[in-house]
Amino acid sequence: MAIASAPLDIARIRADFPILARTVHGKPLVYLDNAASAQMPACVIERVARYQREEHANVHRGVHTLSHEATTAYEDARETVRSFLNIPTLRETIFTRGTTEAMNLVAHSFGRTFMQAGDIVLLSAMEHHANIVPWQLLREERGIEIRVIPMDDRGVLDLEAYERLLEGPVKLVGVAHVSNALGTINPVAEMTRMAHARGIPVLVDGAQAVPHLAVDVQALGCDFYAFSGHKLGGPTGSGALYGKASWLEQMRPYMGGGDMIVSVRFEETVFNDLPYRFEAGTPAIAPQIGLAEAIRYLRSVGLDRAAAHEHALLERATELVGALPGVRLIGTAPEKASVLSFVMRGVHPHDVGSLLDEEGIAVRVGHHCAQPVMERFGVPATIRASFAYYNTLEEVEALARGLRGVQEVFGL
- List domains and CATH numbers for the chain: 10-41+302-409 (3.90.1150.10), 46-299 (3.40.640.10)
Q: Tell me: pLDDT of 3 over 50.
A: no
Strands 202-205 and 145-149 turn out to be unpaired
Residue 344's pLDDT band (cuts 50, 70, 90): very high
Residue of 369, 393, 400, 412 with catalytic role: 369
Q: Tell me: pLDDT of 61 over 80.
A: yes
Cβ partners under 8 Å of residue 324, min gap 6: 344, 400, 403, 404, 407
User: d(Cα 235, Cα 289) in Å, to the nearest integer?
Assistant: 9
Q: Tell me: pLDDT of 4 over 60.
A: no
User: d(Cα 239, Cα 84) in Å, to the nearest integer?
Assistant: 12
Q: Tell me: pLDDT of 408 over 70.
A: yes
> What percent of the chain has a predicted confidence (pLDDT) above 90?
96
Residue 222 annotated among the catalytic residues of the structure: no
What average pLDDT does this structure show over 203-212? 98
CA 163 to chain centre: 26
> What percent of the chain has a predicted confidence (pLDDT) above 70?
99
**CB of 46 within 8 A of CB of 57?**
no
User: Could you read off the pLDDT of 135-160 as tens digits, one per residue?
Assistant: 999 999 999 999 999 999 999 999 99
DSSP string, 71-98: HHHHHHHHHHHHHHHT-S-GGGEEE-SS
**CA 385, 390, 394, 398: dihedral to nearest 10 degrees?**
-30
User: Could you read off the pLDDT of 249-269 as tens digits, one per residue?
Assistant: 999 998 999 999 999 999 999
Comparing CA positions, the residue from 19, 211, 260, 246 lying closest to residue 99 is 211
**CB of 185 within 8 A of CB of 205?**
no
User: d(Cα 305, Cα 387) in Å, to the nearest integer?
Assistant: 14
**CB of 269 within 8 A of CB of 263?**
yes
Cβ partners under 8 Å of residue 260, min gap 6: 253, 271, 272, 276, 277, 278, 279, 280, 281
Q: Average pLDDT, whole number, for the chain?
A: 96
